Structure 1
């Protein structure tokens, strides 16, 4: 395997329900410019989000590749669902092609939790990343490789609620932090029972509101911890597929 260099640079964009964040990384995932953000436009239509991205990266230094984390299910660069942006407007949008046209660079688009997962996992065994924010994001990885994305957020966790409705921002605001923590304890126990993971990483704006002790194989990470996933998304080009 060839040694990683910092020859190429990757613009990494994290599209969220409340903000769009971006930075430029080298191949090792190190920031080459400040981590900046802009408010997600409302309405958050594809056209408005693309305009916001163009504004956000206008003054960025040169880059060679683009990695994008999107809050929904993405298949071969095409958006299938966008629950926190408006699935109706986004469904069928070829976001990879739209961004390729906009930025004039090769683009790869994956689910936002998947992108973060690539940046934070140790690459040993079965690891899960969850994000607690506007909704509930999940990424599954085995020995550092992404497994097929599951929209666990939309699986029922109670008779009438899916995970987004049960522990997302709206639920937190409605039931309060104490009851939300009780719900989170239930969710984490479900993850243990269903997945029997080796390690779990918890990220997102609401991760800091967890008030109960976590198991020794669980860590809270920041969104910035996962930003280097933007570089990992292109590692097959940089160092080949041999591991």
Structure 2
């Protein structure tokens, strides 16, 4: 009698400036449990962050692979910037390798907005994903395939010293209040529409719920639960792969 292989189970982790969220997915991106979260440690050093993740997932069901969305510039699993966690602590850290060793499972790490993009897009035309949280995350996809990541958050929007992060990030929202922040968001969306001429814009992140103005028909608010599903797309088979990423496989 043939042994039926057990279904692939993926631990999908979203690292944010305020919280770390995680769930278990099947290969279709369907949640096998409600996602759980823990406060992002301070200081958010690699050691503290990995310790927090291990605490968060210690009572989770078993899983086979790990997908991680990280708030910064990531290439081949290595962190290059982490503006909301302290780049000085993270620059050059191979998080894919470190977390793979800590959890004992093959691990992929990508930018958090890129992972959310893989979870929410329809795969039709040029689709853009933005996340409104501690900072401003962005991802671009063409027909469901990730395009090279751009750290638009650090580009000036108002003057040489005022980046998108400073203009519409969490600190700007707290300082300026919801009404002025919404006016700023209207300006930002106008810029994005002009610059990228996207077919669809998806808006995620915790502060997306605070938008009070009417969105265009090709703009859609998505949830964290939608975004975390992107973790499954990192593990589709090679023929279907939407992105090529370094995979850290723990030493046996």
What does residue 94 of structure 1 align with? Answer: 94
State yes or no: 1:230 paired with 2:252. Answer: no
Partner residue, 1:213: 214
Contact 2:116-2:230 at 8 Å conserved across structures = yes
d(CA) in 1 for partners of 2:68 and 2:194?
Answer: 31
Partner of 2:59: 59
Trace 1:1-40 onto structure 2 (pairs within 5 A).
Answer: 7-40=7-40
Q: Hey, what does 1:144 align to over in structure 2?
A: 144
Contact 1:72 1:83 in 2 (8 A): yes
Match of 1:108 in 2: 108
- 1:43 maps to 43
**1:154 matched to 2:161:** no
CA RMSD of aligned residues (A): 1.3
Output the CA distance in 1 between the equivalents of 2:91 and 2:156: 22
Corresponding residue for residue 190 of structure 1: 191
Residues of 2 paired with 1:194 and 1:18: CA distance?
30
TM-score by length of 2: 0.92
Q: CA deviation at 1:225?
A: 1.0
List, as ranges, runs of 4+ consecutive aligned residues in structure 1 with deviation greater than 4 Å. Answer: none
Please give the per-residue CA displacement for 1:146-197, whole angstroms capped at 9, x wherever unaligned. Answer: 0010000000001130000000000011111111111101100000110000
| Deviation at residue 33 of structure 1 after TM alignment | 2.0
Unaligned runs of 5+ in 2: 243-252
Q: How many residues align?
A: 237
1:241 corresponding residue in structure 2: 240
Q: Give 1:241 shift.
A: 3.2
Matched, 1:134 2:141: no
Q: Is the 8 A contact 2:234 2:241 kept in 1?
A: no
3-state DSSP of counterpart to 1:110: strand
**3-state DSSP of counterpart to 2:52:** helix
Which residue in 2 is equivalent to 1:175?
176
Query: Unmatched 5+ residue regions in structure 1?
Result: none
**How far 1:242 sits from its partner (Å)?**
7.7
